[in-house]
Amino acid sequence: MYNLITILILSQLDHFGFAPISSPQVVGDSFQITIYAYDINNQIVSDYNGQPWVYSSINPAYCIKQVSFINGICTNNVMVTLAANMALICNDYDGHTGQSNDFDILASAPAKLLSIVPNEIYDPGTENGKYGPVEGQTAGVEFTIDIYLTDAWYNIVDTTNHIIRYNQTDQFVQGSQIQLVNGTFSLPFAFRTAGPQRVYFNDVTNPAIDEDSCSLITVYPGEYTNLLVLLPGETHLPGDTTNYEPETPGKSGEPDNQYVLETFPVIVYAADSMWNKTSTSGNTVTLRSNFPPLDTNPLTQYLSNGEAQFSVYFFQAEDNTMLKAENGSIQSYENYLDIEAKTTHIGVVVDPDTINAGTNALITATVYDRAGQPIEDKKVNFTVLGGGNGYIVEDNPYTNSLGIATAYFVCANIYFNELDTIGVTADDTTFLATCYVMVADSSIMEGEILAYPNPMGIEGQTMRFMYYLPHPCNVIFAIYDPFGNEVHQEHISTNSTGAQSGINTLEWNGRNDKGMRVSSGLYYVIIKCYTHTSTYVHKKIRVGVVW
């Protein structure tokens, strides 16, 4: 009985033992291990069929597997994810344990890039390769990003020094490339633009290597050092790299032209050295101009969360008007915009306001701005509205130094008296004037010819001839000097301009058929209107030319 009890006690599981594990092994490669279930005398417990766990001596995260024993022996494959010197441990729930010999695990082939930013912890052999909350950075302040060439489990592969290119989400930081040293590189880096940013890395030497993007970094504005003035039409451009004043650092776009006595907004930012808006509050900002007639409401504002807003207008028009913000020793760049005079009123005179068909009326338009001042060099449009038969001739559409623009109104081809409406427009302001047009007297109806202006050259550079035709017909229009030499001749076919039923108008510009201006003096004009059977008009009149 005593011998039997002794045998039973000696056959119980006491510990585990490993067959020697060859060194080195490679991360990610499966290799075979053999484990024995031993009693206290290092004899195999042949009836042990348990399922203990095998794991790395450094951390179970790098190798952990439940294995099965058959008759006291376990033969199984395992895989390790951490490149290091370690042993394997076998342990069951009852506290039986055993440890292998130490052996080396080498990194496998390069497969990935890994970037580590401040406050992150490099964690090779794990699924992510790193952990820890990302530390925010300040715009314009340099920090370090560590770049590693790793195997599939983020172990550094230090045998290859690849060329790595990097780019970033910040448009004002220029990308470049680096060369790894023993599989790593510490990159000095600084973002310029506040907000969420990343840096991207890709392997130039071996494009098959997985690229990497660093963890999302929150970039905060730096200290308040600059004032930035934003005018209408301009857009804030935080992180702007230019320091050349004409290129407007910190913003883009051209300022919109503004108008006399019309209020427009001006925004001033308290910015850092990279032109990011800060959260500064309480400081007073003053807006100034090189052009004295400036009004802001109020002139001085307090910064609130890095911003001050002004309502501004000018009393007079001025090109290249300068605006500048100041807060003690901190001053903005000079900012320039044009202040234009905008039309708010047009004074229009039609002289005379009643004319005969075919004669002229002078339209004089005086353009004023909101301050009641005449506007020079303002474009004015003269238009006959409402289906009237009149039209505008010889207009001078830009105002002179007195704010005046002129045009001539004429109405020729009508049968009945009419009231024409003339629209005079500058900017978005329109003034309506009228001119009453009467059909010419009976002398025209009886075949007479009216010429105006006569003489030509004093009141106008073009002479017009008006006559009446009872029917469409052919027309010969000829001009002769006092010696009977032909100066100009036109043959006008039936129903063309000047050869239609009703009142017709022809023009002469004072030049001969060679295009040369005639001399001052008397000239004879003959107009013959005829068909193959009849002649309706055959008149000769005398006109003058005075240059």
What secondary structure, in 3-state letters, does 309-333 show? EEEEEECCCEEEEEEEEEECCEECC
In the block, tokens 């310029």 appear at 192
Count how many Cα atoms sit within 13 Å of the Cα of residue 75 in the half-sphere of its side chain.
1
Domains and CATH numbers, the chain: 2-106 (2.60.40.1930), 112-220 (2.60.40.10), 226-340 (2.60.40.10), 345-438 (2.60.40.10), 442-545 (2.60.40.4070)
Q: What is the pLDDT of residue 255?
A: 96
**The token pair that represents 458 in the structure block:** 């004093």
Q: Where are the beta strands (DSSP E) in 253-344?
A: 258-259, 264-271, 284-289, 294-296, 300-302, 307-314, 318-327, 330-331, 335-340
Q: Are 204 and 122 in contact (CB under 8 A)?
A: no
- C-beta neighbour count of 20 within 10 angstroms: 10
How do strand 73-78 and strand 31-38 relate by DSSP bridges? antiparallel
Q: What is the pLDDT of residue 3?
A: 47
In the block, tokens 């002139």 appear at 299
Q: What is the pLDDT of residue 444?
A: 52
How far separated are the first and last CA of the chain, in Å rounded? 155
Report the C-alpha gap between 264 and 418 in whole angstroms.
46
Q: Are 419 and 433 in contact (CB under 8 A)?
A: no
In the block, tokens 């919109």 appear at 256
Count how many Cα atoms sit within 13 Å of the Cα of residue 485 in the half-sphere of its side chain.
7
Q: What is the pLDDT of residue 443?
A: 47
Name residues of the chain where pLDDT drops below 70.
1-10, 292-298, 415, 440-447, 459
Identity of the amino acid at 14? D
Q: How far is CA 48 from CA 53, 93, 188, in A?
A: 15, 14, 59
Q: Is 241 helix (H, G, I), strand (E, B) or coil?
A: coil
Q: What is the pLDDT of residue 295?
A: 66
Count how many Cα atoms sit within 13 Å of the Cα of residue 466 in the half-sphere of its side chain.
24
Report the C-alpha gap between 278 and 404 in whole angstroms.
51
Residue 349: φ, ψ to 5°: -125, 130
- C-beta neighbour count of 295 within 10 angstroms: 13
Q: What is the pLDDT of residue 442?
A: 46
In the block, tokens 């008759």 appear at 71
Q: Are 183 and 114 in contact (CB under 8 A)?
A: no
Among candidate residues 423, 433, 264, the one with its CA nearest the CA of residue 335: 264
Q: Where are the beta strands (DSSP E) in 79-220?
A: 85-86, 88-91, 97-99, 103-106, 112-116, 121-122, 130-131, 137-138, 143-150, 163-168, 176-179, 184-189, 195-197, 199-203, 212-213, 217-220
Q: Are 416 and 361 in contact (CB under 8 A)?
A: no
Identity of the amino acid at 8? L
**The token pair that represents 533 in the structure block:** 């059977």
Q: What is the pLDDT of residue 441?
A: 54
Query: What's the pTM?
Result: 0.70
Q: Is 2 helix (H, G, I), strand (E, B) or coil?
A: helix
